[in-house]
Amino acid sequence: MKAKGGKRTERGFGFDSYLSPFTWRYGSPEMRDLFSEVGKRARWRKVWLALAEGEHKLGLVTKAELDGIRSKAGREDVDVEAAQELEKTIRHDLMAELRTFAAQAGKGGGKLHLGATSMDIEDNADALIFLEAIGIIKSKLVGCLAESRKLVLKYKDTVCMGWTHLQPAEPTTLGYRIANYAQDLVTDVEFLDAVKGFVLGKGVKGAVGTSASFKALLGSDARVRELEDDVMIRLRLHAFEVSSQTYPRKVDFLILSALASIAQSCHKFGLDLRVMQSPAFGELSEPYGKLQVGSSAMPFKRNPVTAERMCSLARVAATAPLVAFTYASNSILERTLDDSAARRIVIPEAFLAVDECLTIYESLVRGLCVYPVMMERNLERFGPFAGTEAVMMKLAEKGMDRQEMHELLRNRSNEAWGEVMAGRPNPLLSILSEDRTISSKLSGAEVRRLLDPRGHVGDASERCESFVRKKVDPILARHARTGKHSR
């Protein structure tokens, strides 16, 4: 299973063994790399090097020892096969990596990990990984938002039926509906930014977080603080002021909650798209390749498989916060190992699931197929019903009893609904125009105007523009200034 330099062999990792779908099917290469064994161990070495550099500055590590450590601290020096072979005997993955690193570092190997406990290394490395992973997710979120912005403005005036309870309601515009999806993304960006502020390293505080080992080495509280500050500056990472053996596992719960929030946004958009792609609605569809196969049995099928995949992966991410809740809650006193195995699984897979969801989301928005003729068909069938409230209010203005008019319009609408369900054109205009009570107060032209669905979209168009200007553009501008994957 040699993985030196990131290379992978077949033994233990081929298709004749179980592979997680995230190993090769879902998630981006950059996200997989972050959570790979080589990626993780390379960051362990980065933390060990920062610790050695800080201890050199305080006289605990010589220049020659530091040079040996530094010479083998690179990603290319990681030898997973050697470490895993040693782990079979000692049954401790970090110690196996430490001994492998120490053997490579020559004289400096004897000073590696001086005063530290495993989580001084692992937790700081994890924080580095999480911040990079959050940067990838943030970048993809912003990409989805940028593509959504185009559609919000393009379709801000495109009237379509609104649906509540999966029943025709009042009309809206396609741009306004997409603005609602984009607003969820805005919330996710803000939530992710807030959670990112809680992603701190453990620092270097020893076995139970009291820095007892480092004080024994350095002799004073001030020098302990000096060492931790120096190490964290080198890592470009802030540390928790206090910790147990680990940083607070509540942080994992917050990170996974933010990822679950993004997954929920993806699922909502994906499910709505799947409904709209159904021929019963037929107004939108996901992009469909010319050679794409929809069904092995039914050649005509155009299943929304991409949106379905996004929804399926979103549900996986949605379960992650519960796992973090349980292990964070069950970390008794200064630490138990309830978290270890679960964290190895749930954190990488949640990031990879959301990473894939956002890749899909952006592709769906960019390639969204819109069918105006189907929108018009639905407006013709159901749009006039939306005008009954306007008719009722106008009749009330002209002195009619509002409650009586509500009952009258309900009965007349039911007549028209029966015709629509029989496959005939919506006759509501003629039914209301010919009703003596209504025609005594309103002309046929007035009824026609009041029933026109295009007159009942309120300020949807202006709201689209305002939303883009106030909420979306500032996020895009900030992201452009700070750069991709910025921490």
Residues annotated as catalytic (active site), given as ranges: 165, 295
What does the block give as tokens for 382?
A: 């159901």
Give dist(CA 359, CA 466) in Å, integer.
27
Decide: 48 and 121 in contact? Cβ < 8 Å. Answer: yes
Which residue type occupies 429? L
**Beta-strand relationship, 369-370 and 284-285:** antiparallel
Decide: 405 and 388 in contact? Cβ < 8 Å. Answer: no
* Sequence-ordered list of residues with C-beta below 8 angstroms from that of 18, at least 6 positions apart, any chain: none
* Sequence-ordered list of residues with C-beta below 8 angstroms from that of 396, at least 6 positions apart, any chain: 402, 405
Partners of residue 3 on adjacent β-strands? none
Distances (CA, A) of 7 to 14, 78, 134, 381: 13, 11, 25, 60
Kindly tell me the number of DSSP H helices and DSSP E strands found in the chain.
21, 4
User: For the CA atoms of the chain, what is the radius of gyration?
Assistant: 30
Place of tokens 């995230």: 22
Which residue type occupies 169? A
Q: Work out the burial of residue 396: count CB atoms within 10 Å of its CB; fewer than 13 is exposed, 13-18 middle, 19 or more buried.
A: middle
Q: What is the distance between the terminal CA atoms of the chain, rounded to a whole angstrom?
A: 33
Decide: 395 and 438 in contact? Cβ < 8 Å. Answer: yes
What does the block give as tokens for 260?
A: 């679950």
Decide: 146 and 138 in contact? Cβ < 8 Å. Answer: no
Which residue type occupies 476? L
**Beta-strand relationship, 167-173 and 369-370:** unpaired
Angle between helices 118-154 and 460-467 (to 10 degrees): 140
Closest alpha carbon to 313 in 22, 24, 23, 15: 22
